[in-house]
Structure 1
Amino acid sequence: MIPEVILADLVACPDLPGSSNARIADCVLGHLRRAGLDPVVLPGPECDRVNIWASIGPRDVPGMILSGHMDVVPVEGQAWTSDPFRLTAREGRLFGRGTSDMKGFLACMLAAIPDFRAARLTRPLHLAFSYDEEIGCRGVGHMIAALPDLAAAPSGCVVGEPTEMRPVLSHKGKQSTRLVMTGRAAHSARPDDGVNANYAGAEILLAIRELNAALAAGGPFDPRFDPPHSTAVAGVVRGGTAVNIIPDRCEIQMEVRSIPGQSAADVTAQVLQRLAALVPAGAALSVSNEELSSYPALPPAEGSALAGLLQRLTGQVPLRSVSFGTEAGLFHAAGIPAIICGPGSIDRAHRPDEYILPEELAACMAMLRGLAGELAAA
């Protein structure tokens, strides 16, 4: 099968995270069934989103997972020179939302099914399609929890995020959190009658800035990453409704990205302590927090069998780390060795005129055929 044809079908599905993924799921299921597979649909707790799982080869022995997410980021506010949801070939490039991140890999997974089936696998290949990765890897955890009922414990997982087909060994973990400070509204002419939630928010903003500076100065450090330490950032601030009203609510959304060996939750906890300390006994100010998303770091696995396998299959020396996060950390946390390797480039992802190169798809197909050969060997 030709991956470009399948990629056109996938790009035509504007499947945004946080909403129903019925259209892209139906597209993937159609390709799986037409290729002769019997996929398993795994509904998420949201009731309008599903993960999809399909296996080729014996299910009672350890095999390899090929994993990719079906959702893409929005295109609003971006200046595209062609329809983002129609695959467009131009100047040797294939343009469309999700071509690099990461429907190119999904298209190759589906296009390679005839090769997988013809290989007479003695160890299985499992195709895993997840939802809501773009808003914090929310979907794949439900699929990982179902694995004991789907197959023997897998021996490894390739997450096909765009790495220009160079294997990647590790990435940082992440936790994003909403912090809310609730005060008391009043007329701005009598500010002492109210409790200004924005002032409390300002203290927390400074606390996050100070924490990030402390991490940069004191570590812990891991030179495999850039920057080589965990980070804390305030990304969204909302407070107040009018200049003549004392604001009774301030919201901050913060993010921590943590190196392996340091928990993102432990870093966030330092901010939560400062948040709680804002509220003296009997004060009108109240505070709350909510985790928005979280996934663990993927620790480096230099010298591992999986790293060696992907180096043989791609002909490229593995890269020690990347700055973006993936679902690979969740597979690793579940006891499944994981590595990142896929067509396209992260530098093109989430941008207008996202594209992938036909030769990158061809390289991915060659890697997948090589993997099938490995799993067919005695």
Structure 2
Amino acid sequence: MIPKDAPRADTVAILDRLVSFDTTSRRPNAPLIDWIAAYLRDHDVPFTRSRGPEDGKWSLHAIIGPQTAGGIAFAGHVDCVPVDGQDWTHDPFTLREEDGRLYARGAADMKGFVAAMLAAVPDLQAMQPARPVHLLITFDEETTCDGARHLMADVLSRDQLPDLCVVGEPTLMSPIVAHKGRLALRITFTGRAGHSSNPDGGANALHAMGRAIAYIADEASRFAREGCRAEGFVPPYTTMQVGLASGGAILNIIPEHAQLEMEWRPVPGDDARAEADRLQHALAPLHDELRRHGPDCGIRYEVICDLPPLDLPTEHPLTDLTRQVTGSNAAGHVSYGTEAGIYQRAGMPAIVCGPGDIAQAHRPDEWIAREQLDRCDRFLRAMARKVCSAP
């Protein structure tokens, strides 16, 4: 169990600074990473930054203790979802406390955990760990998860891969050993414009998209009826849906362009890439039908997000250790995705355990309980002590 008298750093003060940076995924995160870099320099913690494909997007890898592979990593992202169209009662980028709740965009998902990571730095240094404690901070988790991919490539190139990883997404400090993956596609339909009074004079992209949506809906029903079952998930099967669709200009013009965005959320064991190939094969006749109207017509597929599932065995030492430190008997499953699957695929066993409630994420007046941050503060120090202290 986590000792109740464990030292508490000023996590809330750091959270106050982190949420003041608008790091919604469409914006650069460089100013926030610069602030974290300055904080680490002040504490003499070595770190490396790795940039993404877009200007102003950075991930960061810091190591406390031996500058080597091994040890344990604490991982969090600093991007957050937009506040547009949400009814906030206060400025979403100014931390506000009321009745033990700390309100701000990203407070729960997941700057609270990153604040606790940074606040723990002086105590982690004082432990003089025999094995390294890694801090992994990424961008674009809410969109592509490319930050974690670029960071892992950089870490592997330097031969500094940790042995274990804790991803601090909000779980109310309960261990999560498995989550679904996510494969998202943008599908563009290109037809030929014409006057609606002469349907044969054009190719209706919206009609093609409608047939594709009908097929996707049927496939979603097939998964629900007869798909692979993975108990512990809600629902216990792979899901798929169309979430966005658009096309057309005015009613009396045959629509030349249409576009949809869709996703699979596969349970461990199901292959979303194979399902994407199956979809493309099924829609091939639609593509050929559009293609008859010109070489620029047809169906185009673009991967938006490819997030692998997480499947850590319940008997893995990391599961046992996290249960021991949190005092939890459970090891749960969730249907949302995290960067933990990317870390596991890179060769680093990962578990999800962090402060706050996922039910508060992405909502107006997002909040995290101060009590959850207190528990996280103790958790981080206890995990580092057990994994990285000299025997």
TM-score range, shorter chain: over 0.9
State the match for 1:327 in structure 2.
339
1:373 maps onto 2:381 in alignment: no
Structure 1 stretch 362-371 or stretch 310-319: which is displaced more? 310-319
User: Given residue 351 of structure 2, which amino acid in structure 1 is its aligned partner?
Assistant: I
Q: Is the 8 A contact 1:212 1:233 kept in 2?
A: yes
State the SS of the aligned residue for 1:100: helix
SS in 1 for 2:258: strand
Query: Which of 311, 327, 344 is residue 356 of structure 2 equivalent to?
Result: 344
C-alpha distance in 2, partners of 1:151/1:29? 22
In structure 1, give the amino acid aligned to 2:373.
L
Counterpart of 1:224 in 2: which secondary structure?
coil
Q: Alignment partner of 2:322: what SS?
A: helix
Partner residue, 1:173? 181
How far apart, in 2, do the equivalents of 1:39 and 1:280 lie? Answer: 52
Q: Does 1:280 align with 2:293?
A: no
Instruction: Determine the C-alpha separation between the residues in 2 that align with 1:55 and 1:21.
Output: 21
Are the equivalent residues in 2 in contact too, given 1:18–1:135 (CA < 8 A)? no
Q: Distance in 2 between matches of 1:261 and 1:32?
A: 40
1:222 to 217, 230, 233: 230
* 2: CA distance, partners of 1:176 / 1:94: 32
* Match 1:353 to one of 362, 365, 379: 365
Is the contact between residue 312 and residue 349 of structure 2 (CA under 8 Å) also seen in structure 1? Answer: no
Match of 2:107 in 1: 99
- Tell me, yes or no, if the aligned pair for 2:312 and 2:350 is still in contact at 8 Å: no
User: For the Cα contact (< 8 Å) 2:28–2:56, is it kept in 1?
Assistant: yes
Aligned match of 1:305: 317
Counterpart-to-counterpart distance in 1, 2:68 and 2:260: 48
Equivalent residues of 1:169, 1:318 under 8 A apart: no
Distance 1:140 1:78 in 2: 28
Contact 1:348 1:354 in 2 (8 A): yes
C-alpha contact 1:161 1:342 (8 A) present in aligned 2 = yes
Q: Which of 241, 249, 268 pairs up with 2:249?
A: 241
CA distance in 2, matches of 1:60, 1:35: 19
- Among 319, 326, 330, the residue aligned to 1:314: 326
Q: Per the alignment, in what secondary structure is the counterpart of residue 254 of structure 2?
A: coil
- Please list every run of 5 or more consecutive structure 1 residues that lacks an aligned counterpart in the other structure: none
Give the AA of the match of 2:331: L
**Contact preservation (8 Å) 1:59, 1:151:** no
Partner Cα separation in structure 2 for residue 149 and residue 177 of structure 1: 29
1:133-144 mapped onto 2 (5 Å cutoff): 133-144=141-152
1:206 aligns with 2:202: no
The 10-residue stretch of structure 1 (261-270 or 129-138) with the greater mean CA deviation from structure 2: 261-270
Of 292, 300, 322, the residue aligned with 2:304 is 292
C-alpha displacement at 1:301, in angstroms?
Answer: 1.5
Cα distance change, pair 108–297 in 1 and its aligned pair in 2 (3 A): same
1: CA distance, partners of 2:287 / 2:68 = 56
- CA distance in structure 1 between the aligned counterparts of 2:377 and 2:308, rounded to whole angstroms: 29
Q: Could you tell which deviates more after superposition, 367-376 or 111-120?
A: 367-376
User: Could you tell me which residue of structure 1 aligns to residue 28 of structure 2?
Assistant: 20
Separation in 2, partners of 1:318, 1:144: 29
SS in 1 for 2:287: coil
Aligned length: 378
The answer on 1:34 being equivalent to 2:14 is no
Alignment match of 1:259 (pick from 238, 260, 267) = 267
Distance 2:65 2:158 in 1: 13
**2:127 is equivalent to residue 81 of structure 1:** no
Please tell me whether residue 157 in structure 1 is matched to residue 168 in structure 2: no
Aligned partner of 2:139 in structure 1 is 131
Give the distance between the partners of 2:240 and 2:314, measured in 1 at CA. 27
Calculate the TM-score normalised by the size of structure 2.
0.94
The 1-side partners of 2:161 and 2:319 are apart by 19
Distance 1:237 1:82 in 2: 32
Residue 269 of structure 1 is matched in structure 2 by 277
In the alignment, is the contact (CA less than 8 A) between 1:307 and 1:318 conserved in 2? Answer: no
* Distance in structure 2 (CA, Å) of the matches to 1:377 and 1:356: 34
Q: How far is 1:287 from its partner?
A: 1.2
Give the Cα–Cα distance (whole angstroms) in 2 for the partners of residues 120 and 24 of structure 1: 28
- CA 1:180–1:61 in 2, change beyond 3 Å: closer, same or farther? closer
Contact 2:108/2:356 (8 A) holds in 1? yes
1:120 Cα shift? 1.3
Q: Distance in 2 between matches of 1:30 and 1:161?
A: 24
Cα offset for 1:310? 0.7
- Please report the RMSD computed on the Cα atoms of aligned residues, expressed in angstroms: 1.3
Per-residue deviation at 1:322?
0.7
Aligned to 1:56: 64
Read off the aligned partner of 1:60 and give its amino acid letter. T
Q: Residue 192 of structure 1 aligns to which amino acid in structure 2? A: D
Give the Cα separation in 2 of the matches to 1:149 and 1:269. Answer: 31
Q: Please say which of residues 235-244 and 285-294 is displaced more in the overlay.
A: 285-294
Deviation at 1:151, TM superposition (A): 4.9
Equivalent AA in structure 2 for residue 176 of structure 1: A
Percent identity of the aligned residues? 39
Unaligned runs of 5+ in 2: 1-8
Equivalent-residue separation in structure 1 for 2:159 and 2:188 (angstroms): 43
Q: Secondary structure at the match of 1:139?
A: helix
